[in-house]
Chains A and B, each alone.
Chain A
């Protein structure tokens, strides 16, 4: 039995990610890579178009990850979370690198039980 709050893998919600790079910079093993670009978005009624980040790629190399969870703790937008999914087996080291598609399949995470 794998408990629902198990730290099996790290799940990504790409729609919540603002490409702020905090997880990439704080990761002790440098296992996260992130590519992004900016786009101008014009809101109706706004005086100027605003610049928004668009996430192009997000990769976690689970061959390097030590499951410390610092990225999960530090993400200001809750775009990363623990998930009880745990299927990381691969036949090559490169197969342990997961992109947005794989990381999103673990979302929504079940998460730890609340006290109340």
Chain B
């Protein structure tokens, strides 16, 4: 079952599988975090058997727009911190998590910053050095129809949908 050190479970079995691992001797909780795959959000927990020093990573996949998962804080009390962090960074809602206060960020921050859909505002308001067009496109002469490139981390239309005060960029520069 754990030959590769990896177990993939359905979200409904999440708590039960980890609870079973704990009974098998995986009593040391390492971390919980998430990976943004676009439409899917993968959540991973790592637990260790201190007697054999064998680690296991348990993975599950959630829909990104309805990321809900049972909390492991009832199994490992230390999971509370990691789940609070994953909740505020990735927008995962942990059902049964007793302490749901933000751990590191302001509650008013809005979109979870570790989601790829979260815009990097500091990049949106600064001129991107890479926006200058390379002329090394193998064609003769200028090509004005070429689409302007956006920097990574700034979604298309972000500035149009979120007009920024002109004095904001003055502060950042």
What CA separation (Å) do A33 and B129 show in the bound complex?
6
Partner among B129, B130, B134, B140 whose Cβ is within 8 Å of the Cβ of A19: B134
A51: B residues at CB distance < 8 A? 135, 140-141
A101: B residues at CB distance < 8 A? none
Partner among A27, A30, A37, A48 whose Cβ is within 8 Å of the Cβ of B135: A37
Partner among B129, B134, B151 whose Cβ is within 8 Å of the Cβ of A32: B129
Partner among A19, A25, A33, A37 whose Cβ is within 8 Å of the Cβ of B149: A25
When the two chains form their complex, are residues B126 and A36 in contact, meaning their CB atoms are under 8 A apart?
no
Chain B residue at minimum C-beta to C-beta distance from A31: B129
- A72 CB–B CB distance under 8 Å: no
What CA separation (Å) do A50 and B126 show in the bound complex?
35
What CA separation (Å) do A33 and B127 show in the bound complex?
11
- B132 CB–A CB distance under 8 Å: yes
Q: Per-residue CB proximity of B69-92 to A under 8 Å, as 1/0?
A: 000000000000000000000000
- A65 CB–B CB distance under 8 Å: no
- B136 CB–A CB distance under 8 Å: yes
Chain B residue at minimum C-beta to C-beta distance from A22: B134
Partner among A18, A30, A35 whose Cβ is within 8 Å of the Cβ of B132: A35
What CA separation (Å) do A30 and B151 show in the bound complex?
10
The residue in A19, A21, A24, A27 that gathers the most chain B C-beta atoms within 10 A of its C-beta is A21
When the two chains form their complex, are residues A24 and B130 in contact, meaning their CB atoms are under 8 A apart?
yes
B134: A residues at CB distance < 8 A? 19-21, 53
What CA separation (Å) do A19 and B129 show in the bound complex?
13
For residues 68 through 116 of chain A, which have their beta carbon under 8 Å from a beta carbon of chain B? none
Min C-beta distance of B67 to chain A, whole Å: 27
- B158 CB–A CB distance under 8 Å: no
Q: Per-residue CB proximity of B126-157 to A under 8 Å, as 1/0?
A: 10111011111000110000000101000000
**5 A/B residue pairs, CB under 8 Å, sorted by A:** A19-B134, A19-B136, A20-B134, A21-B133, A25-B149
- Chain A residues close to B by CB (< 8 Å): 18-21, 24-25, 27, 30, 32-38, 48, 51, 53
